[in-house]
Amino acid sequence: MYRSQKLSLRYFTAAIVLFGVMILFGLLSALYYLYPSMLFNVFNFSTSKILHIDTLVIWLLMAFMGAVYWYLPKELGREIEGMWLAEATFWVFCAVVAVVALVFVFVQYGSASEFSLWFINQGRKYVEAPRWASIGVVAVMLVFAYNVIGTAVKARKMTGIMWVLVLDLIPLLLVYLDAFPAPTNLSVDLYWWWWLVHMWVESTWEVLIGCVMALVLMDVMGTPRRIVEAWLYIEVMLVLGAGILGLGHHYFWIGTPRYWLGIGGFFSALEPLPLLGMVVHSIYDAGMHRMKTANRPAFFWITAEAFGNFIGAGVWGFMMTLPQINLFSHGTQWTVSHGHFAFYGAYVCGVLAVFYVAKQKIAGVDFLDGRAWRWSFALFNFGMVGMVMGLLISGMAQAFYGRAIGGSTLMAFTQASENPWFLAGMYARMGFGVIFALGYVVLVYDLLTAPRRALVAQPAPLEPA
Amino acid sequence: MKLEGAATRGTRTGLDLTDPNFWRAGAISTTLVMLVVLAFLSIDSMRVISVGGAHVPRYDVVNQHIGYRYDWSRRADVPVIGGAEPLFGVTLTEAQATALVREGKLVIQSRACMDCHTFFGNGAYYGPDLTKSWLDPAWPQIWMPMTGKPTREEAMVAFLMHPDQYPTWNRRMPNLRLSEREARATVTYLKWMSAIDTNGFPANFGQTHAQQ
């Protein structure tokens, strides 16, 4: 095992811990909708929500970094350049996250001053972490980029996947610089904020997870590099071809010119295409290998990733991306439904596949299967689909009663939120959220337990020997 | 492994659809073209959404009445800037208005308003959208009588300083310890923001406003 793969395991551990924190504050945030007087004036909904969405970003980022540290030495055939720096950076990263979380929990907010933005809370969605911590994240990403690029230079070797990865890190880092400014004009503020949020979630992260999935496919299914690379380029072409101007679907209502309605609507309608391509790719691959794999949990999670990405990000996004619909759905629980499904399908499923690749390596078995992972797989998927459906019903109630009929006033918002359809969806979300959390418990149990001998044996070959 | 048709034609054109290099060229050129288009659109958008641009008014618009009505040619609700209506009865210079709106933005960020509310539909969905909250009928109908204040802006300040004392339903806003100065700056920000042309968002708000 390479030294950087040990670092990967540390990143995966931290990611799983933060995944748990995210679920915990997700459940708490959901509970506020059912018991609004809970913790009133003591611990605000906003703080709970910040901890839910910021841990989401950080745990996925840590898991991506872990995945890259895992595959980089295998890909380039040499240990990582600047390993001690990478190891030190991990602890710095963890310390920064811990301090920010403690300040959020115990201080929550500050007065209207630059001091608050530097040390308490920036109050910009997804990048609420104060500026000092954002600088920390930039430093971590710089070290990460140095590790990747430095290793490639030292190895005097580049693969197609590595080129995509390195080039992807540049915009990933550049758009994060928008985590710092606080323009007074909210239209300008949100214009650039979307470059950060959209270009991360709908562009650079999609490319990054595409690279990781390519590496996992070669690892788990033995897909030839030539096929994987051709698919990766096609995905990059479609993701960026549709996604860069698909940015326009965030520019419908923030004060921006009207042409964004057409441009954003058209290009974001194309965004499901690469995700559909991934589904085709995975079915094709699975068929080629007659579903034979050395790592069954990883294989199932990759398949879930392909379908989840297409349905959650693609179909659910398309459902509300045309401006005629978005005028009513934007900023309701409908958006939340899409957000949950998309993050889960596009990123969580893929990252879980990587965790199981790592587990197989540690266990040192040729074939990984078992019983517990099936339970967590089922609980996670069932819980997520249930939550998403509940949120969709609530969101549609808001769009119909609050927006279309009520005319989007404060009282219309109130009335829509007391509508039985809205409340039914909220109760469903809470219940299925608990099921999702059970999936997490089983996942942690399964990852921590060594595979049993009886299940380690190779399956009977499909063809008669 | 080549596609049947491509294999025979490939000998003449050199086109091989399973060749990664073909798709790499496609990925690079597509990305570059899209980035260039985005750059031009962004330059134009900045012109429109800068303060004083076609869609975003100057900060001293808070000295004027802000109306809202359906525009048949645009088929969307649009803000209408009217005659003098100074906020808190004081006409501000442009510099004063800018300073106040800037402080309002600092309040909004430091209190993480967008982690309960939405602005232009962006943020969190626990509290109502605030894009047009300055124009909302709830201020004259509910909060002015409740706070006993004679004007909309004073009712807003009273509410923002002690939201826990003026509840209207079971989801209440917590007390975020706004000073009077901070509350006034926030109200100024909300009035300025209501004058931004948002292509008709939020839906049907213009009709409600016209019925007031």
pLDDT band at A461 (very low <50, low <70, confident <90, very high): very low
* Residue B77, beta-bridge partner list: B70
Distance CA A70, CA A362 (A): 12
Residue A182 lies in a domain: no
Residue in A253, A325, A414, A429 to test binding to B, most B beta-carbons within 10 Å: A253
CB contact under 8 A, A32 and B132: no
- Phi-psi region at A389: left, alpha or beta (left = phi > 0; alpha = psi -120 to 50): alpha
Domain span holding position A414 = 314-452
Q: How far is CA B66 from CA A207, B87, B92, B147, B197, in A?
A: 45, 11, 16, 23, 12
Does A365 reside within a domain? yes
Looking at the structure of chain A, the number of domains it has is 2
Percent of the residues in chain A that have a pLDDT greater than 90, as a whole number: 79
- Put simply, the chain B residues between 44 and 103 with a CB less than 8 A from any chain A CB are 44-46, 48-51, 54-56, 74, 98, 101-103
Q: How far apart are CA A75 and CA B2, in angstroms?
A: 27
Q: Give tens-digit pLDDT for A280-326.
A: 877 777 777 777 788 999 999 999 998 999 999 999 999 999 999 99
Query: How big is the A-B interface in CB pairs under 8 Å?
Result: 257
Could you report the predicted ipTM of this complex, rounded to two decimals? 0.93
Q: How far is A307 from chain B (nearest CA, A)?
A: 23
Q: In this structure, what token pair is assigned to residue A435?
A: 């099921």
Question: Hey, are the CB atoms on B204 and A47 less than 8 Å from each other?
Answer: no
- pLDDT, tens digit (0-9, with 9 covering 90-100), for A392-449: 999 999 999 999 999 999 999 999 999 999 999 999 999 999 999 999 999 999 999 8
Looking at residue A456, what is its pLDDT? 46
Query: What value does the mean pLDDT take over residues A41-57?
Result: 96
For residue A28, tell me if it sits in a domain.
yes
Tell whether A226 is covered by a domain.
no
Direct distance between the N- and C-terminal alpha carbons of chain A, in angstroms, rounded to an integer: 34
Identify any residues that bridge with B81 across adjacent strands, giving them in sequence order.
B66
Residue with tokens 């909302």: B136
Instruction: Locate the chain A residue with the closest alpha carbon to B16.
Output: A230
CA Rg, chain A, in Å? 22
Beta bridge partners of B79: B68
Would the CA dihedral through B139, B140, B145, B149 be positive or negative? positive
How far is the C-alpha of B174 from the C-alpha of B100, rounded, in Å? Answer: 24
* Minimum mean pLDDT range among A14-23, B21-30, B97-106: B21-30
**Does residue A283 belong to any structural domain of this protein?**
no
- Give the pLDDT confidence score for residue A277 in this predicted structure: 81
Whether residue A38 is contained in a domain is answered as yes
Cβ–Cβ under 8 Å, residues B156 and B143: yes
Q: What digits encode the pLDDT tens for the residues B167-200?
A: 988 999 999 999 999 999 999 999 999 999 999 9
Of A127, A158, A189, the last residue of a domain is A158
Candidates B33, B34, B170, B196: best to mutate against A (most CBs of A within 10 A) is B34
Given a cut of 50, whether residue B3 has pLDDT beyond it is no
Q: Compute the nearest-CA separation of A46 from chain B (Å).
A: 5
Question: Across chain A, what does the average pLDDT equal?
Answer: 92
**Segment A209-232 mean pLDDT:** 87
DSSP at A452: P
d(CA A106, CA A83): 35
pLDDT of A252-261, one tens digit each? Answer: 999 999 999 9
Q: In this structure, which amino acid lies at residue A311?
A: I
Tokens found for residue A95: 């310390």
For residue A421, being part of any structural domain is answered with yes
Domain end call among A124, A158, A192? A158
> Residue A460: pLDDT band by 50, 70, 90 thresholds?
very low
Q: Which CATH class is domain B59-210?
A: mainly alpha
Query: Could you tell me the pLDDT band of residue A218, with boundaries at 50, 70 and 90?
Result: confident
Q: Report domain extents, chain B.
A: 2-49, 59-210
Give whole-number Cα distances, A144 to A79, A150, A377, in Å. 14, 10, 31
pLDDT classification of A366: cutoffs 50, 70, 90: confident
Specify if A114 maps to a domain: yes
Q: Do B176 and A109 touch (CB under 8 A)?
A: yes
Q: Do A188 and B207 touch (CB under 8 A)?
A: no
| Dist. CA B43–CA B38, nearest whole Å | 9
Q: Is some CB atom of chain A closer than 8 A to the CB atom of B43?
A: no
Contact A240 B136 (CB under 8 A): no
In a mutational test of the A interface, the residue from B32, B50, B69, B122 whose CB has the highest number of chain A CBs within 10 Å is B122
pLDDT digits (tens, 9 = 90+) for A92-148: 999 999 999 999 999 999 999 999 999 999 999 999 999 999 999 999 999 999 999
DSSP output for A102-157: HHHHHT----SSHHHHHHT---STT--S-HHHHHHHHHHHHHHHHHHHHHHHHHT-
B11 at interface of A, judged by CB pairs closer than 8 A: no
Pick the last residue of a domain from A158, A188, A223.
Answer: A158
Report, as an integer, the average pLDDT of A32-53: 96
CA distances (Å), A422 to each of A49, A87, A120, A316, B91, in order?
19, 48, 34, 19, 44
- Indicate the pTM of the whole model: 0.93
Per-residue pLDDT of B128-174, as tens digits, reads 999 999 999 999 999 999 999 999 999 999 999 999 999 988 999 99
pLDDT confidence of residue B12 = 53
Quick one: pLDDT band at residue A457, thresholds 50, 70, 90? very low
Using a 10 angstrom Cβ sphere, with 0-12 exposed, 13-18 middle and 19 or more buried, the burial of residue A258 is middle
Interchain pair B171, A417: CB under 8 A:
yes
- Which residue in B has a C-alpha nearest to residue A113's C-alpha? B106
Whether residue B11 has pLDDT greater than 80: no
A-interface mutation test, from B113, B114, B172, most A Cβ less than 10 A away:
B114
